[in-house]
Amino acid sequence: MPDSDEAPTDRSRTATRILDVAERLFQRRGYNAVSYADLAAELDLTTAAIHYHFPSKADLGQAVVTRYRRANAKQRAAIRAETSALRARLQRYVELYAGVLADGGMCLCGVLAADEATLPTPVRREVRGFFDDQTDWLTSILAEDIDGGAGLDGCASPRQVADLLLSTIEGAMLTHRSPRNELNTFRASLRCLIDTIAS
């Protein structure tokens, strides 16, 4: 267990390092394939030190997803504040996911959703919340532009378009991983869909 005299800022830095490494490993391996021993080896810490900050893996998983959701919310707020054009907003939104692919990872919540049946309840709740966040945000920006022609044949509402777009992004991440040409294909595929939605 870490020294109880450890300064709060040191404790905070250690917790942040644990969250950073856990997020990266979850994005590449999934929740169930990552252990505290894996984290300890990456961080040069003992497993007891990790348990000191996050007593259970469920605590750690919930903290990782909560932080991911907050960071994503800030990114989406910036997109909304910095441009009012639907096409530009959607393109920048797709770039959030392209950036994760470029770093060799996958959408954290997309990966965790594959393990949903075995996730602890608090982690599963946060993952579902992430997808609700995305659908709500996409629905709202699509609804803002409905008079400008935003929509998609076969979709009766902005929410249906939002669901389709989010599902396409998450699926495209699975089929267009890592190599540069795949990343370009990911962007090109989503650009086609955005062009159709924001025509």
What's the length of the chain? 199
Range of the domain at 169: 8-197
Answer yes or no: is 75 within a domain: yes
Structural contact between residues 97 and 169, judged by C-beta atoms closer than 8 angstroms: yes
pTM score, two decimals?
A: 0.89
Q: Which two tokens stand for residue 142?
A: 């699509």
Answer yes or no: is 2 within a domain: no
Answer yes or no: is 1 within a domain: no
Per-residue pLDDT tens digits for 48-77:
999 999 999 999 999 999 999 999 999 999
- 9, 11, 17, 18 alpha-carbon torsion, rounded to 10°: -160
Structural contact between residues 28 and 106, judged by C-beta atoms closer than 8 angstroms: yes
Give the separation between CA 143 and CA 165, rounded to whole angstroms. 14
Band of the pLDDT at 1, cuts 50, 70, 90? very low
Answer yes or no: is 3 within a domain: no
Query: What is the predicted pLDDT for the residue at 135?
Result: 98
Answer yes or no: is 69 within a domain: yes
Give the separation between CA 195 and CA 184, rounded to whole angstroms. 16
Structural contact between residues 31 and 123, judged by C-beta atoms closer than 8 angstroms: yes
CATH number at residue 19: 1.10.357.10
Answer yes or no: is 83 within a domain: yes
Band of the pLDDT at 104, cuts 50, 70, 90? confident
DSSP 37: H
Answer yes or no: is 120 within a domain: yes
pLDDT at 145 over 90: no
Q: Number of structural domains, the chain?
A: 1
